Homo-oligomer: A and B are copies of this chain.
Amino acid sequence: MSSAAHLYLIPSTLGNENPLTHLPAATLKKIQTITHFIVENEKSERKFLKACEIKTAQSDLNIYQLDKHDKRDDAHEFMDESTMQGKSIGLLSEAGVPAVADPGSKIVIKAHEMGIKVVPLIGASSILMALMASGLNGQQFTFHGYLPIPTEERKREIRNIEQESKQTGYTQIFIETPYRNNAMLKDLLSTCNKHTKLSIATNISQANEQCNYYRIAEWKKIKIDLNKKPSVFLLMA
Q: Show the binding face of A for B, using Cβ within 8 Å.
A: 9, 17, 20-26, 29, 97-102, 104-105, 108-109, 111-112, 117-120, 122-125, 127-145, 170, 201, 204-205, 209, 211-214
Which of B98, B100, B128, B133 is A118 in contact with, Cβ under 8 Å? B133
**Interface centre among A118, A120, A124, A137, by most B CB within 10 Å?**
A120
Given A104-B138, A105-B134, A108-B132: A211 and B170 interface contact (C-beta under 8 Å): no
Would B100 and A138 count as touching, CB distance under 8 A?
yes
- A interface SS class: mixed
Which of B104, B127, B132, B136 is A9 in contact with, Cβ under 8 Å? B132
User: In whole Å, how far is A192's beta carbon from the nearest beta carbon of chain B?
Assistant: 18
Would B112 and A135 count as touching, CB distance under 8 A?
yes
Contacts of A170 in B (CB 8 A): 142
What is the bound-complex CA distance between A17 and B135, given in angstroms? 28
Contacts of A142 in B (CB 8 A): 140-143, 170
User: In whole Å, how far is A118's beta carbon from the nearest beta carbon of chain B?
Assistant: 5
User: In whole Å, how far is A59's beta carbon from the nearest beta carbon of chain B?
Assistant: 29
Which of B128, B139, B145 is A128 in contact with, Cβ under 8 Å? B128
Which of B22, B124, B140 is A144 in contact with, Cβ under 8 Å? B140
Would A129 and B134 count as touching, CB distance under 8 A?
no
Would B26 and A122 count as touching, CB distance under 8 A?
no
Would B143 and A98 count as touching, CB distance under 8 A?
no
Given A20-B25, A24-B21, A25-B20: A129 and B135 interface contact (C-beta under 8 Å): no
